[in-house]
C-alpha cells in the first residue's frame, strides 16, 4: 500500500508542479514530461545501447568492489540482502513482471523527465539512490548511484524516456533473474 501511494505521488507531483505552480497547459506538460519520440528503430537501438552500457557499468562496479575486498581484506559485498528482498517481495512471476514494468516507467518519468530537468543530474541521482535504500545493501546503494548517473546522462544526451525506460527495464529484468538463480 505504501508503494502505491509513493508511486502515485511520483506521477502527481510533476503534474501538480507544472499545472498549478508553472501554470502550463496539458499539452505543454505532455511535451515537457514526455519528449517527442524518435523513430522506432533509433529508440530500440538506443535502448539496447543503454542496456549494454548499464551492464558494462555493473561489471566495472562489481570488479572494483571485488578488488577493494581483496586489497583491503574486507567484506563489503552484501548482495544477499537484495536477493532476499527480491525473493520475498513478489507473490507471482506475472505480478512481479507487471509491477516491474510499471515501477521502471514511473522511475524514469519522475527522476529523469521531471526531477533531472528541474534540479540536475547529481541531485536527481542522489534522490534516486535514496529511494533504493530499502534493499539494505551498501553494494546495491553504490551500484544504484553510479548506474543512476548513467541513466541520467543518457537521458540528458538523448532526451528519450523510451530509451531510458527500455534500457532500465532490460537491466532490471536481467538483474532480478540473476538474483533469483
Q: Is 152 exposed, middle or buried (0-12, 13-18, 19+ CB in 10 A)?
A: buried
The whole-angstrom separation of Cα 110 and Cα 152 is: 12
The whole-angstrom separation of Cα 99 and Cα 39 is: 27
Residue 179 pLDDT grade (very low, low, confident, very high; cuts 50, 70, 90)? confident
Mean pLDDT of 137-153: 94
Mean pLDDT of 21-28: 95
Tens digits of residue pLDDT in 109-139 = 999 999 999 999 999 999 999 999 887 888 8
Q: Give the pLDDT of residue 92.
A: 66
Which has more pLDDT, 16 or 83?
16
What count of other Cβ atoms lies within 10 Å of the Cβ of residue 119?
12
Residue 38 pLDDT grade (very low, low, confident, very high; cuts 50, 70, 90)? confident
Mean pLDDT of 38-45: 92
Of the chain, the percentage scoring pLDDT greater than 90 comes to 66
Instruction: Give the closest residue to 86 by CA, choosing from 164, 7, 5, 140.
Output: 140
Lowest-confidence region among 47-61, 96-110, 150-164: 96-110
- Per domain, the residue ranges of the chain are 42-180
Indicate the length of the chain as a whole number.
Answer: 181
What count of other Cβ atoms lies within 10 Å of the Cβ of residue 8?
11
Q: DSSP of the chain, one letter per residue? A: -HHHHHHHHHHHHHHHIIIIIS---HHHHHHHHSPPP--HHHHHHHHHHHHHHHHHHHHHHHHHHHHHHHHHT-----THHHHHHHHHH-SSHHHHHHHHHHHHHHHIIIIIIIIIHHH-HHHHHHHHHHTTGGG--HHHHHHHHHHHHHHHHHHHHH--HHHHHHHHHHHHHHHHHHHH-
Tens digits of residue pLDDT in 59-93 = 999 999 999 999 999 988 787 777 777 777 665 66
The mean pLDDT value of the chain amounts to 89
Residue 100 pLDDT grade (very low, low, confident, very high; cuts 50, 70, 90)? confident
Residue 134 corresponds to which cell in the numbers above? Answer: 530499502
pLDDT at residue 1 above 60? no
Amino acid at each position: 500500500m505504501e508503494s502505491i501511494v509513493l508511486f502515485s505521488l511520483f506521477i502527481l507531483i510533476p503534474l501538480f508542479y507544472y499545472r498549478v505552480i508553472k501554470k502550463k497547459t496539458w499539452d505543454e506538460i505532455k511535451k515537457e514530461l514526455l519528449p517527442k519520440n524518435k523513430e522506432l528503430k533509433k529508440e530500440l537501438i538506443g535502448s539496447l545501447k543503454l542496456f549494454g552500457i548499464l551492464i558494462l557499468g555493473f561489471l566495472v562496479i562489481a570488479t572494483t568492489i571485488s578488488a577493494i575486498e581483496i586489497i583491503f581484506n574486507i567484506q563489503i559485498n552484501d548482495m544477499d540482502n537484495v536477493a532476499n528482498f527480491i525473493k520475498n517481495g513478489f507473490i507471482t512471476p506475472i505480478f512481479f513482471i507487471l509491477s516491474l514494468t510499471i515501477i521502471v516507467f514511473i522511475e524514469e518519468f519522475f527522476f529523469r523527465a521531471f526531477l533531472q530537468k528541474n534540479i540536475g543530474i547529481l541531485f536527481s541521482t542522489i534522490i534516486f539512490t535514496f529511494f533504493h535504500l530499502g534493499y539494505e545493501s551498501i553494494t546495491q546503494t553504490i551500484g544504484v548511484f553510479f548506474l543512476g548517473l548513467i541513466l541520467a546522462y543518457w537521458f540528458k544526451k538523448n532526451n528519450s524516456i523510451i530509451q531510458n525506460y527500455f534500457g532500465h527495464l532490460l537491466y532490471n529484468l536481467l538483474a532480478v533473474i540473476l538474483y533469483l538463480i
